[in-house]
Amino acid sequence: MDDKRESPPTMILQFAPLNSSVDEGFWHSFSSLKLDKLGIDDSPISITGFYAPCSHPQVSNHLTLLSESLPSSSDEQSSTESTSHGNRNKCPVPGTLYNTNTVESFTKLDKQSLLKSEANKIWEDIQSGKALEDCALLSRFLVISFADLKKWSFRYWFAFPALVLDPPASLVELKPASEYFTSEEAESVSAACNEWRDSSLTTDVPFFLVSISSDDSKATIRHLKDWEACQGDHQKLLFGFYDPCHLPSNPGWPLRNYLALIRSKWHLETVWFFCYRESRGFADMSLSLVGQASITLSSDSSVPNSVGWELNKGKRAPRSISLANSMDPTRLAVSACDLNLKLMRWRALPSLDLNVLSSVKCLLLGAGTLGCQVARTLMGWGIRNITFVDYGKVAMSNPVRQSLYTFEDCVGRGEFKAVAAVKSLKQIFPAVESSGVVMAIPMPGHPISSQEEESVLGDCKRLRDLIESHDAVFLLTDTRESRWLPSLLCANANKIAINAALGFDSYMVMRHGAGPTSLTDDMQNLDMNKAGRQRLGCYFCNDVVAPQDSMTDRTLDQQCTVTRPGLAPIAGALAVELLVGVLQHPLGIYAKGDNSSSSNGGNTDESPLGILPHQIRGSVSQFSQITLLGQASNSCTACSETVVSEYREKGNSFVLEAINHPTYLEDLTGLTELKKAANSFSLDWEDDEDDDEAVDM
């Protein structure tokens, strides 16, 4: 019997593949580089990847591309040269990016030739000794990509070139480092590794030599170029490297080219390697591995074959990512436009509620001079949902005064203002949610025929639905009577109504109070002393006559809104500021009216923006402005409880009566009786010519 012992079967050393990870910031930076500098130039680009030793027993680290992975200048300078060193979690590795201009070019790339080209560079660096000076060259990588900057989508494919050992390396032994070293050696190796990692000069050097003295078990870590100094019979020598892999039975991908260097430069056939891994930033000997490998390299001096294309879910295929949500210019515009508002919260207005502003829906009745100014200012406050209602078209005289229109809008018959205004807003800020409604607002004092009733009532319903679906309504129409129905509907629905009106050199901006029936419905839980029981008045509360036809038999200067050009920007801005004040006030629409003489500056303890007036009246001829307060009138033809209740009870028939019969609203609210009573008073004046009986008051 042959009593020769059989040698254990040879096990091929298998390496855990390295995986890639691309931060969104890389694609952001690359998009700018492509658009601003590269253009159609598809020359290879030097980039830098980053990796670190495994730091978790169940998760491997990836090679990552960051925004700083790209060159920092437009010249041919390698990104590796401009990358800062000394970060323990970011060991830089040189790479090359091949970006194509079309998806067809991406598909047709000769991937095998590209891989071989990069592998040749690694082999040349080994032969020349350059890899000993800069060991990160052993992990050189490449990326091919196609950037669709129209859709903000990217296709990419990583390759980590690895020189193929022929025959393959054999694994003799592999065990946790804690089992290979003695306790004294493990302690010394850990201390040496921690010192190596803590030094800014060596923390990102991923390949190194570990020598352990057999006399005192002291471990020393050296650079690869110090190989000669590590020779001696009195010490163990291990080839260490930062292992991104977490697997307990496989070393990581960087070991492949490391073994090729060891066999080629030092002609070793048996190698002890040290897979350095960490836990919580310190060397972990139970997670790290020590193995023995048997390697043979062909005596042929030609470049070895190479492998290394990364698999995508187990298949040889590229990966793709869409960053439309984060990289689309519209989304970037939103972030940029919100910057001013967010900076307000830093110091000036810490309590500013931006969510309220971004969610409010505003209805602008009138898309003329005032409507244009209001819309622009609303967007400045971060209000994104704006609806225009207007029946007019852009005339040749409009663009110079109405900031949303251009000459093209009035060519031919002219574009409807409601439509042109929406188009302009989207050009200014694509993220705005805006719509335009072309319709006329039914008005009292403008009788209609029976044939028009259906159309007019349809407009009434449409206007009511619009008001009820929005949070705030701006009354910006040219005539007084066109504001009556919106005022009534706002009072009925208890909506915030902001009114702005212009004279030749004067303006009036006001907010309407809450609806009359809302006091009992919505204010039961409010502090009455704080809110004030008396409602604020609306635009019509001071009138002693019902709205009437102000358009018939008017000269040209009376038909047009003839005002000094500076009025609309002032009034439009004040109208928006008034709305924002209401939205930021804890009582909202129920907030009492302040004026400039209010004690302690008015509601400054309740509203972060200062006082919240009811009315603002100004004159540019005097360069003056005052704040006024007016309470709701029980005889108001628009917001009184009598009128609102009548509207709720009769609906369309009430609206038709108000439109067709000029005195209907006066009769309903008691204004007719009030005027009769006023006319019945007889005032007797004594005509006394005796000046001596005059009394000074």
Query: DSSP for 5-46?
Result: PPPPPPEE---BPP-EEE-HHHHHHHHHHIIIIITT----EE
Print the domain residue range for 269: 10-72+85-327
Query: 327, 354, 372: which is the final residue of a domain?
Result: 327
Pair (323, 371) in one structural domain? no
Residue 332 belongs to some domain of the structure:
no
Residue 91, pLDDT > 90, answer yes
Residue 288, pLDDT > 80, answer yes
Pair (156, 303) in one structural domain? yes
Average pLDDT over residues 562-587: 94
Q: Which of 54, 245, 560, 636 is catalytic?
A: 560
Residue 492 belongs to some domain of the structure:
yes
Residue 169 belongs to some domain of the structure:
yes
Pair (288, 372) in one structural domain? no
Pair (295, 369) in one structural domain? no
- Give dist(CA 60, CA 124) in Å, integer: 29
First to last CA, the chain: 147
The structural domain count of the chain equals 2
Q: How far is CA 73 from CA 76, 84, 146, 332, 639, in A?
A: 8, 15, 22, 24, 66
Pair (554, 453) in one structural domain? yes
Residue 526, pLDDT > 90, answer no
- Give dist(CA 277, CA 70) in Å, integer: 28
CA 82 to centroid of chain Cα atoms = 30
Mean pLDDT, rounded, of the chain:
86
Stated pTM of the model:
0.58
Residue 406 belongs to some domain of the structure:
no
Pair (449, 306) in one structural domain? no
Output the pLDDT for position 608: 81
Residues whose CB falls within 8 Å of the CB of residue 90, separated by 6 or more in sequence, listed in order: 50, 52, 204
Helical H segments across 200-323, by residue range: 255-266
Average pLDDT over residues 343-352: 77
For residue 199, give the DSSP letter: S
Output the pLDDT for position 181: 94
Q: How confident is the model at residue 310 (pLDDT cuts 50, 70, 90)?
A: very high
Pair (312, 266) in one structural domain? yes
Pair (373, 310) in one structural domain? no
Angle in degrees, 0-180, between the axes of helices 641-650 and 652-660, rounded to the nearest 10: 120
Average pLDDT over residues 530-541: 77
The domain that holds 254 is classified in CATH as: 3.40.140.100
Instruction: Render pLDDT for 220-241 as a digit per residue (tens, 0 to 9).
Output: 999 999 988 787 766 789 999 9
Residue 432 belongs to some domain of the structure:
no
Q: Counting Cβ atoms within 10 Å, is residue 446 exposed (0-12), middle (13-18) or buried (19+)?
A: buried
**Strand 472-475 with 141-148, pairing:** unpaired
Q: How confident is the model at residue 682 (pLDDT cuts 50, 70, 90)?
A: low
The domain that holds 483 is classified in CATH as: 3.40.50.720
Residue 429 belongs to some domain of the structure:
no
Backbone angles phi, psi at 22, to 5 degrees: -120, 120
Average pLDDT over residues 644-652: 93
Residue 437 belongs to some domain of the structure:
no
Average pLDDT over residues 269-291: 94
Catalytic residue check, 230: no
- Give dist(CA 478, CA 550) in Å, integer: 10
Pair (44, 187) in one structural domain? yes
**Strand 270-276 with 235-242, pairing:** parallel
Residue 339, pLDDT > 90, answer no
Give the range among 36-45, 122-131, 452-461, 579-588 with minimum mean pLDDT.
36-45
Which carries the bigger pLDDT value, residue 164 or residue 547? Answer: 164
Pair (113, 231) in one structural domain? yes
Residue 396 belongs to some domain of the structure:
no
- Give dist(CA 355, CA 510) in Å, integer: 24
Pair (271, 376) in one structural domain? no
Pair (483, 578) in one structural domain? yes
Residue 79, pLDDT > 50, answer no
- Give dist(CA 252, CA 394) in Å, integer: 70
